[in-house]
A and B are shown apart, each in its own frame.
Chain A
Amino acid sequence: MLRLLFFICLLALAVCAVPSLGAADPVKPPVAPVVSAPLAVDPVDRDVELFNPNVYSLDESGHGPKHVTRSPFTDPASDIAREVASVTWLSSLIFLPFLVLPLLLLLYVIFKFRDTGDGRKPATFTGNHTLEIVWTVIPCVALVLVSIPTWFILDKMEAPPEKQKDRMAVRVTGKKFAWDYKYLGIYKDPKAEEKQEIAVGQFLGIQEPLVLAKGRTVELHMTSDDVNHAWWIPPFGVKKDCIKGRDTYAWFTPDTIGFFKGQCAELCGDGHGLMIITSAVVEKPDFERWLALQRMKDDTFKVWTTIQPPAGTAIDDQALREVVTGFLAKGRSPERQYALRYWIACNYATLQRVPPPTGVSLAEVFGAAKGGGATEIAAAIRVRRAKVDVLLQGLVADLGPATESTIAGSSTAAIAVPGAQP
């Protein structure tokens, strides 16, 4: 019987282990990350990696994720999360005796008072008022001890962050199964943009990250378009439900540069598990550059659709020339040129993560030969991006350097090209 049981346990272990062995060696994405030139890294590619990294990237070993989930308690990444983590550890410490003491007592009782058959008579006491008062009062004291710090942190989390001078607000809208972010109150100069709001969400079929600036407080106003969702990135230490018809609120100040991920935390339907949340925390200058890039996103979209026609269609060179000329006609500052190059690269990085339409292989989407692997795809993308670069250079040279009038139509927020920075 004993052996049989042991065998059953082993079997269970094996059943358990088989699928996870497979998992230890996951299917490697056949697509390599955006390949950059080995010597001089194109600043555009660096920005793409900064603002739009692939949440699915694997680390060097190819086994684990490159962007790991940071534990909210050991690895917090915002001021709120740090306080929550410390109050958690403090409370755990206060509660710990109530976990350890009963277990130790139980062990002691089990060994000390087991019936050894020596004829010992059991004790007959059935109560002890002093003891009973002690183990009623001491937990109450612990309760009070824990309640005090937790009130202050709760009060801080729920009140608006008026002490924080540098702050912005984002409207978060959950919908099946993606997130819309609208940046509110970041327009210091009302004339800067004509009604163009900065909104990110699902683009080209992929969830765009919520980009935040390190050290700048963000207030999240959350709601939902359909069913309940909950917005949660573990190391930020806040989670709120997004409920249609309600406006929930949370704030935090990210204090760690990095790329963070989470999942929707309220059951919302069959895509619940795929409703991921990402956030990139960058330095403030990088954040300003990202804002400026966002403002020019729509302008670049025509060029994008021309350089990336539906799979199986050739690029219309004449049309491409026209749209790039049209883009430059609205302004040809270096910032605008940079934005165009950035968005083309960024969209290519995104498109590589999207499953191709049925009947089309991924390679064909980018104009590579059918059956082409990661290298072929990367090469095909490089060719298409180079097309735009060459056109830009030629056209700008033809048109001459930018003047006051040509800059007028463009964004007043300067894009500090990262390569040019000290």
Chain B
Amino acid sequence: MTAAAVMPPIPLKRYTGVMDWLTTVDHKKIGLMYFWFTVTMGVIGGFFAGAIRVQLATPGAVIETIQAAHLAGVELPFNLFSENRDLFNQMVTMHASVMIFFTIIPGFIAFANYVVPLMVGARDMAFPKMNAFGFWLLIPAAMLMLSSFFVQGGAASSGWTAYPPLSLAGAGHNPGQDMWIMGVHLAGVSSILAAINFIVTIASLKAPEMKWRDLPLFAWATFFTSIIQLTATPVLAAAVTMILLDRNFGTTFTIASSGGDPVLYQHIFWFYSHPAVYIMILPGFGAISHIFAAFSHKRVFGYLSMVLALGCITLLGFTVWAHHMFSVGMSPGLAYYFQVASLLIGVPTGIKVFNWLATMWGGTIRFTTAMMFACGFICLFVLGGFGGLILALVAVDFTLTDTYFVVGHFHMVLVGGSVMLLFAMTYYWWPKMTGHMLSEKLGKWVFWLMFIGVFVTFFAMHLSGANGMARRVPVYFADFKFSNYLTTFGYFLTIVSSLLFYLDLFLSYRRPKVTEDDPWKINDVQQSFEWATSCPPPVYNFVTVPPIPVLDQMSDGHGKPQDAVADKPQDPKPTH
């Protein structure tokens, strides 16, 4: 790569302004659009969560008082959904659907879209137009789902799991459920397209000097996630298509009286939806490795075992789906297999946690907001994982499944895990993505409110569930009054935190531009290219492929050359 190979800046822009955003195929712009889409959807999903929490905040909906109110001939003291009891189920369903399909999954895709091509030294994704198509599919998908609140019968109300026969009820009279299925299909297509794009980009567009053994962990994580998306999402499409056909075209895939089987649907659904939880966390696992290395100013500990752990989780993730449905009544041998396999996933996950701690060990840790979110993630994720280990035990799961313990568990790993990771990634990569720093001062507030809020909210849910509160109920016994009160209180903390975060996002655009390529001054411990170009990068990312900052990932750190590289401050700036 000589200076003669410098690519002349081709006029890639055909339009300016809004039309530019609508027609762009630039992975960076699409990544940012994904990001803002995610933020918008997060607000909507958070609003649904708020409606649920306000309803459950008080025993206003407590069963005792329902009877008392009937007797006294008065309206319930406090019941958001007294006019339309089904609306609560619609809220529950849409909260989950919006958060899963339109917030967390596209949230990680946003960063992968922006950062992965930069990390591997590519000029764009392998299929830029498909990339844009994938993003624009999400808009009608979200519109289909959300607009279903305004059709006859309201939105889908059978939970995001859409178990038949409940999801078959009212076929022909509640198109909301069909719109939900269509929305899932579109989101699924979008997901598959993104997955193909990432796999090809990473496999074929990484810089010639970058071998698989040098691949940054975030790229590895995106690679594995894409494999899951590519193989599991079609299965979800099959599952919801069965519902669609049963509802509208007289098939009987899931209708027991006609030879179908409602449990078959559950198996197929969870065959996607369990791997889907790894779609929602693996990219974060990869990204957090970079953040720990960056702010401990140390290279990632145990690179190879990190990659192997990601691969193990990917594989094992496909073999444990039935732990979501132990209570349907399966043979004990089968259930026991799923228990052991589920517990086994704890091993590679544990390896990752210990590796992160070892990465920090001996470093010089700077507590930037991104780093605080990363540390907070470890706390909450380990806690959520502990609940997961207990839930994996079949005998115990019979008691805990479909209770608030489960709700607390998966929120602890999704909000305490994935969402904390998304926050960390935002604080870390925001200067690279926009050229503006987020406020470290405000960020500390965002972190502490979010950390405490998430902990209180979801820990209290564990308590409700362990004491016997079923999930998806709009009313409950007064025994669970206190823990539900705590949960709603925690919810408001997280809302305050989120509002501050959104405020900070907008404020950041008014701050001066970052002038350095590497504002965190971390490039000497990163193995990726994204800090070797300007903030934000030019349309073509790199003029020439920069040298790999740290050469050999697999080195155990005792080799001289690596140490020399790590010790010497260097500036691998590209020559553009």
Contacts and interface: CB of A to CB of B under 8 A. Distances in A.
A13 B360 contact: no
The B interface is mostly helix, strand or loop, or mixed, namely helix
Contacts of A185: none
Nearest to A361: B73
Given A30-B72, A355-B71, A263 B473 contact: yes
Given A56-B63, A123-B362, A243-B328, A228 B343 contact: no
Contacts of B72: 27, 30
B329 A248 contact: yes
Nearest to A226: B165
Nearest to B163: A228
Interface string A92-105: 10010011001101
A319 interface: no
B363 A230 contact: no
B273 interface: no
Interface stretch (B199-207, B314-322, B377-385, B530-538): B377-385
Interface residues of B, number: 128
B399 A239 contact: yes
Contact of B329 (A99, A106, A240, A274): A240
B382 A91 contact: no
Interface stretch (B181-189, B216-224, B234-242, B293-301): B293-301
Nearest to B499: A8
Nearest to B485: A20
A33 B475 CA distance: 23
Contacts, number: 366
Contact of B357 (A109, A129, A136, A157): A109
Nearest to B564: A124
A362 B398 contact: no
A84 B364 CA distance: 46
Nearest to A5: B445
A160 interface: no
B351 A29 contact: no
Contacts of A273: 61, 88, 473-476
Contacts of A246: 256, 263, 328-329
A86 to B, nearest CB: 11
A1 B370 CA distance: 21
A110 B302 contact: no
Interface stretch (A144-152, A302-310, A388-396, A401-409): A144-152
A99 B386 contact: yes
A26 B303 CA distance: 58
A16 B57 contact: yes
Given A69-B468, A143-B344, A239-B398, A102 B354 contact: yes
Interface string A222-263: 000011101010110111110111111110000000000111
Interface stretch (B32-40, B131-139, B142-150, B486-494): B486-494
A228 B262 contact: yes
B14 interface: no
A15 B492 contact: yes
Contacts of B365: 109-110, 113-115
Interface stretch (B243-251, B389-397, B430-438): B389-397
Contact of B301 (A120, A126, A361): A126
Given A31-B71, A56-B64, A239-B402, A69 B261 contact: no
B351 A135 contact: yes
Contact of A29 (B68, B304, B361, B557): B68
A161 interface: no
Contacts of B508: none
Given A65-B477, A146-B343, A125 B350 contact: no
A140 interface: yes
A124 B566 contact: yes
A313 interface: no
B43 interface: no
A265 interface: yes
Contact of A240 (B382, B398, B468): B398
Interface string B475-486: 111111100010
B473 A113 contact: no
A140 B361 contact: no
B257 A265 contact: no
A274 B477 CA distance: 10
Interface stretch (A70-78, A196-204, A412-420): A70-78
B329 A95 contact: no
A270 B93 CA distance: 13
Given A126-B557, A266-B163, 5 more contacts: A16-B57, A23-B62, A124-B566, A125-B556, A245-B262
11 contacts: A19-B58, A23-B78, A95-B390, A109-B361, A110-B375, A126-B303, A126-B557, A154-B336, A228-B165, A266-B163, A273-B475
Closest 6 CB pairs of A and B: A245-B256, A123-B362, A234-B468, A12-B492, A355-B70, A248-B329
